[in-house]
Amino acid sequence: MLGVEGDEPATEAPEVSEEAAAEGPAPAEDLTIAQIIEALQEGDIERAAPALDRFLKGEPGHRVARSLRAQLDADPREELGSAYFTHTVEPGETLGQLARQYLGDANRFLILARYNDIERPSRLLAGQRLRIPQSAAREVPAANAEGLEDQLTALGGQDDEEAYLRAIEADLEAGRYEEARDGVRQARAQAGNGLRGQRLDELERTVDGRYWERHGHAARDAGDPEAALAAYDRALEADSGRAKAREAREELREQRKDELHSAAIQRYRNQDLDEAIALWDKALELDPEFEAARGYRLRALELQRRLERLGRSEEGSS
């Protein structure tokens, strides 16, 4: 056959022997689950699908393999719903990372790719606009309970270091701070593999700051100001730049010290001086410059000394 002008000449198809034709198509390759995921990331369904079926024959209960097979078979719109919002891809983001963030499992990158008509999931471009199913925003999904290890390939390809960091970032963005802390701990445990120290340090500070800030809000709303203040302190120790935690802590401190002061005055009037002084001590721990508490505390101490002297004099005269 002649090639079109300007194109490379077409080559003749190689002859197939009668023996080869009789044997039929080559059998499916035996691939590991990581290799299957990599093939799916590259859009090589023809290679990955039969390898996945072959893998499942040997390990029919394998969670990741079963999930991938289901994602290949499912109708993405029926599976995820037709309503969606838009996510603009940031530099360095992957479909695995976004699947963990929004769907709770990095290995669901495949259904997310199909939902967006992406043939090659590994080719994600900064600035690209993706459809994210609205169902993902109704409730923040918990990350997969079986742990992070089986999601590393989908998150970072061959680079486990980057995969850990992407998982932490995904959980952080999804508000899954407990899972993000677990990710940090797992990353720290990979001693000797050169995990990116500075970036991991920064992520850990952010994760701990948000984690303890959330605990502070929860304790405050539950009516436990002491636990809330302790949590806010830990949030600011981890990440001193958390303005909302600082504002919440200062507001709660003001409220709490006034409550302690009011309670102490009531005890003082009832001449329960030990309890009144203890309450003013707590108020002054929150605000050492609290002049009203300081003044009343001194008066309570003076009254306590007078009562003690009066008691001793009465004992001596009896």
| Percent of the chain residues past pLDDT 70, beyond the cut | 84
Average pLDDT over residues 13-33: 58
CA distances from 238 to 72, 84, 189, 220, 245 (A): 43, 35, 20, 19, 11
- Where residue 227 sits, what CATH number does that domain have? 1.25.40
Residue 13 falls inside a structural domain: no
Q: Are residues 175 and 214 in the same domain?
A: yes
Asked if residue 170 and residue 221 are part of one domain, the reply reads yes
Please give the angle made by the CA atoms of 92, 115 and 37, to the nearest 5 degrees.
Answer: 60
Predicted confidence band of residue 160 (pLDDT cuts 50, 70, 90)? confident
| Per-residue pLDDT reduced to its tens digit, 63-76 | 999 999 999 999 99
Residue 9 pLDDT exceeds 60: no
What length is written for the chain?
A: 318
Instruction: Say whether both 92 and 59 belong to one domain.
Output: no
* Residue 278 belongs to a domain: yes
Q: What is the pLDDT of residue 1?
A: 30
Q: What percent of the chain clears pLDDT 90, i.e. is strictly above it? A: 66
Phi/psi for 51 (5° steps) reads -65, -35
CA 194 to CA 254: how far, in whole Å?
46
Same domain flag for 135 and 175? no
Predicted pLDDT at 3: 35
- Whether 173 and 237 share a structural domain: yes
Task: Mark whether 81 and 53 lie in a shared domain.
Answer: no
Question: Looking at the domain assignment, is residue 181 inside a domain?
Answer: yes
What is the total count of domains within the chain?
A: 4
- CA-closest candidate to residue 239, choices 262, 258, 257, 214: 214
| Claim to verify: residue 237 and residue 281 sit in the same structural domain | no
- What average pLDDT does the structure give for the chain? 86
pLDDT band for 32, please (50, 70, 90 cuts): very high
Claim to verify: residue 98 and residue 34 sit in the same structural domain: no
Answer for the pair 71, 80: CB distance below 8 angstroms, yes or no: no
123 within some domain: yes
Residue 211 belongs to domain spanning? 155-190+197-241
Domain for residue 260, yes or no? yes
Token reading at 277: 């002084």
**Same-domain pairing of 166 and 236:** yes
Question: Does one domain contain both 185 and 236?
Answer: yes
pLDDT exceeds cutoff 50 at 16: no
